[in-house]
Chain A
Amino acid sequence: MPINTTQVPAHAGARGHSASASLQSWLPRLVLAPSVAISLFFVYGFMIWTFVLSLTNSRMLPSYHFVGFGQYARLMANERWWVAASNLAIFGGLFIAICLVIGAGLAILLDQRIRQEGTLRTLYLYPMALSFIVTGVVWKWLLNPGLGIQAMVRSWGFDNFTFDWLVQPEMAVYTLVIAAVWQASGFVMALFLAGLRGIDDEIIKAAQLDGASLPRIYRRVILPCLRPVVFSAVMILSHIAIKSFDLVVALTGGGPGYSSDLPATFMYAHAFTRAQIGLGSASAMLMLGGVLAILVPYLYSELRSKRDV
């Protein structure tokens, strides 16, 4: 491979230090080499490794007896997997939609020259600094029917008030939505606020001069400008949703039964506690597929928009 000819060598060569010059031009590559090696092995190598495991009948320990796509077939026939997958659709869909609505709403309200804006922003955003485990523990306490919000509202005299989703198999997945929205919606607010601040005031002034009302300006002028923000928020939130593991473990433990399992907890349970390494690997590969399905269009549009500029 020819040594870099774009930047250094012409000058360095003129000075006659060709040995040290070639060392200098190789140094950047040497510095990057460990990271590249790490990435090749720990990211790409491991992905292939997991894929290979997903083609085997590994149970307690990895074995390399290949069974083709048998594990994927088992997964497709596994009821618990479908519960986890449909929970992810419910959880992810609601989580993203509610975070977007709350985030955009708060950002628009905060953008009206509010006193103490900084304080309010801090309060909306702080949950994002917490671990999902802490969030799960706190909400488990708040949602505990006997001691939490339900008990509190009943003690105010609303004796029939019921809020026991945590112990209802068909409702438990919605408690995940509540806790995750609490944690992440402030972050979406911050994204939208940054987007709003980035809009050129001249556009808004021009619309005002044309006599457009404030709600109309928001709908017709400002929100369309925020499309990129919506796009990245959806990316980030769906990424959080697919990776959600700690929140489920801490808040519902996947239960009652396995009613609030997500693919991430399904994978962990099968690979690490139920001695089903092959099946767990297959589910991990499907998770990767899900992330790629979201990521590839995103990167494609990012790259294309950069080329346009």
Chain B
Amino acid sequence: MSDAMSRGQVIRRQTPAAKALRGLLYAVLIVAAVAYLMPLVVMLLTSIKPLAEITPGNLLALPRSPTVEPWAKAWGEACTGMRCEGVGGYFWNSFAIVIPAVIISTLVGALNGYALTKWRFKGSNLVFAMMLFGCFIPFQVVLLPMAQTLGWLGLASSRSGLVLVHVVFGIAFTTLFFRNFYVGIPDELVNAAKLDGAGFFRIFWRILLPVSAPIIVVSVIWQFTQIWNDFLFGVAFSGHDTQPVTVALNNLVNTSTGAKEYNVDMAAAMIAALPTLVVYVLAGKYFVRGLTAGSVKG
């Protein structure tokens, strides 16, 4: 049986036309892959070339004397606007903003999703729809009031202020993730626990949380990449010391003092890109799930 099938396949593969088509298919796919990869390769190659090799050289030429100096300079010395301390400090700023914002928004989203699905009440769907709208607004519409509110709260230009902003506008997404996930968890489990007298938080802790690992990963990855990659809130609400790395990168690239050091620009771009790239490589499956859940089911 299996022998016959594989023979059938072999016969089909061997017709020259089919074979040529198959080759063409792979050729197209590989060319496409190279095209997608090219900018990253150029970025990496440029970031390890000395400046002397860049101007006369070719984008794709391999570095003759590779150096990590541009990386060191981008990290610790390059000028971002008025200051020349590299993007290193801003890289840690981003972490200082991202970590609390991700934890808080995921936690709140989990509790919201749980309350909205396992403790439905009159109007709970309306509450969900109302919160969901926050996923869709163009953030330009909240920028000016937010700036003033942060000022009133004494959080203008602070990392805490940015954490607040990212939590506030991240909750809509995390609630959506957890709500859609918890809808699929059978109500019977929860109802039985309610009959046994278990309370709201106990049921969450004992029944929902232990099965939530996949959606927690999705939520954490989604929030991490969104907040790490944010530029709009960062540029609007941060001060000199509290900029996230995306803002610092943009300043670095647009600072024109002396000769333009493209290798340093590219090294800084790599530094800003690395955390989300690492997350993507390690957990691509969850990344895609977050993208589709966050956007399609919205």
Residues of A whose CB lies within 8 Å of any CB of B are 4, 6-8, 11-12, 15, 17, 20, 24-25, 27-29, 31-32, 34-36, 38-40, 42-43, 45-47, 49-50, 53, 62, 106, 109-110, 112, 114, 120, 122-135, 137-142, 147-149, 151-152, 155, 182, 186-187, 190-191, 194, 232, 235-236, 239, 242-243, 245-246, 249-250, 253, 263-264, 267-268, 271-272, 277, 280-281, 283-285, 287-288, 290-291, 295
Q: Check if A147 sits within 8 Å of B277, measured CB to CB.
A: no
Once the chains bind, are A142 and B59 in contact (CB under 8 Å)?
A: yes
Question: Which single residue of chain B is at the shortest CB-CB distance from A61?
Answer: B148
A133 to chain B: closest CB distance in Å? 4
Chain B, interface size category, equals: 35 or more
Some 21 contacts from A to B, beta carbons below 8 A apart, are A24-B199, A27-B115, A27-B200, A29-B121, A39-B133, A42-B142, A53-B144, A53-B145, A62-B148, A112-B25, A120-B32, A123-B36, A131-B246, A147-B262, A148-B59, A187-B291, A242-B138, A268-B232, A281-B144, A285-B141, A288-B137
Contact of B29 among A120, A135, A140, A239 (CB under 8 A): A120
Residue of B nearest to A290 (CB): B138
> For residue A243, which residue of chain B has the nearest CB?
B138
CA distance A186 to B36 in the complex (A): 9
Q: How far, in whole Å, are A20 and B194 apart by their CA atoms in the complex? A: 13
Contact between A133 and B295, CB atoms less than 8 A apart: no
Q: Which of B43, B236, B276 contacts A138 (CB 8 A)?
A: B43
Q: Assess whether A140 is in contact with B229, with CB atoms less than 8 Å apart.
A: no
Q: Is B219 an interface residue (CB 8 A)?
A: no
Query: Given the complex, which residues of A lie within 8 Å of B133, measured CB to CB?
Result: 39, 43
Which residues of B (52-100) have their CB < 8 Å from a CB of A? 54-55, 58-60
Contact with A along B91-130 (1 / 0, CB 8 A): 0000000000000000010011001100111101001001
Q: Given that A7-B194, A291-B136 are contacting pairs, would A35 and B33 also be in contact in the complex, using a CB cutoff of 8 Å?
A: no
Smallest Cβ-Cβ distance to A237: which chain B residue: B295
B255 within 8 A of partner (CB)? no
Do the beta carbons of A124 and B119 come within 8 Å of each other? no
Of the candidates A114, A134, A147, A291, the one whose C-beta lies within 8 Å of that of B273 is A134
Complex alpha-carbon distance, A271 and B143, angstroms: 9
Give residues 182-220 of B contacting A (CB, 8 Å). 191, 194-195, 197, 199-201
A38, A155, A253: the one contacting B254 at CB < 8 Å is A253
Cβ contact within 8 Å between B37 and A131: no
Q: Is the CB of A43 within 8 A of B28?
A: no
Q: Are A236 and B295 in contact (CB under 8 A)?
A: yes
Are B168 and A133 closer than 8 Å at their CB atoms?
Answer: no
Complex A-B, nearest 5 residue pairs according to Cβ-Cβ distance, in ascending order: A28-B119, A131-B229, A129-B280, A28-B115, A246-B231
**A141, B265: Cβ atoms closer than 8 Å:** yes
Q: For the A-B complex with A35-B175, A38-B168, A190-B292 known, give 19 more contacts whose Cβ atoms are closer than 8 Å.
A: A24-B200, A27-B119, A28-B119, A36-B131, A39-B131, A46-B142, A50-B145, A123-B37, A124-B33, A126-B277, A127-B39, A128-B280, A130-B229, A137-B266, A194-B292, A236-B295, A243-B138, A277-B144, A287-B138
Provide the bound-state CA to CA distance between A34 and B108, in Å.
Answer: 9
Residues of chain B within 8 A of A155, CB atoms compared: 58
B169 at interface, CB cutoff 8 A: yes
Question: Which of A15, A35, A138, A152 is within 8 Å of B39, CB to CB?
Answer: A138
The docked-state distance in angstroms from the alpha carbon of A150 to that of B144 is 41
| Of A8, A32, A271, A283, the contact of B112 (CB 8 Å cutoff) | A32
Taking the closest CB of chain B, its distance from the CB of A195, in whole angstroms, is: 10
Q: Is residue B172 contacting chain A, with contact meaning CB distance below 8 A?
A: yes
- CB distance A39 to B134 under 8 Å? yes
Q: Please indicate the chain A residues that have their CB under 8 angstroms from the CB of B265 in the complex.
A: 137, 141
Closest to B111 in A: A31
B residues lining the A interface (CB < 8 Å):
25-26, 28-29, 32-33, 36-37, 39-40, 42-43, 46, 54-55, 58-60, 108, 111-112, 115-116, 119-122, 124, 127, 130-131, 133-134, 136-146, 148-149, 168-169, 171-172, 175, 191, 194-195, 197, 199-201, 225, 228-232, 235-236, 246, 249-250, 253-254, 262, 265-266, 268-269, 272-273, 276-277, 279-281, 284, 287-288, 291-292, 295-296
Contact B137 A130 (CB under 8 A): no
> Could you tell me the distance in whole angstroms from the C-beta of A233 to the nearest C-beta in chain B?
9
How far apart sit A164 and B142, CA to CA, in the bound complex (Å)?
A: 36
A110 surroundings in chain B (CB, below 8 A): 29
- Given A123-B37, A131-B272, A236-B296, do A246 and B232 touch, yes or no (CB 8 Å)? yes
Chain B contacts of A148 at CB under 8 A?
A: 59
Chain A residues with CB under 8 A of B194: 7-8, 11-12
Cβ 8 A contact of A284, one of B40, B143, B149, B230: B143
* Complex CA–CA separation, A264 to B235 (angstroms): 13
Provide the residues of chain A in CB contact with B121, threshold 8 Å: 4, 6, 25, 28-29
User: When the two chains form their complex, are residues B246 and A246 in contact, meaning their CB atoms are under 8 A apart?
Assistant: yes
Neighbour of A7 across the interface among B33, B143, B168, B191, CB < 8 A: B191
> Chain B residues near A125 (CB, 8 Å)?
280, 284, 288
Tell me whether B36 and A182 are in contact (CB under 8 A): yes
Whether B59 and A149, one on each chain, are in contact in the complex, defined by CB atoms closer than 8 angstroms, is: yes
B32 touching A4, Cβ below 8 Å: no
- Cross-chain contact of A27 among B191, B199, B253 (Cβ < 8 A): B199
Q: Is the CB of B296 within 8 A of A191?
A: yes
Q: Are A190 and B36 in contact (CB under 8 A)?
A: no
Q: Give complex CA distance A39, B169 in Å.
A: 8
Whether B253 lies near A140 (C-beta < 8 A) is yes
* Residue numbers in B under 8 Å from A232 (CB-CB): 295-296
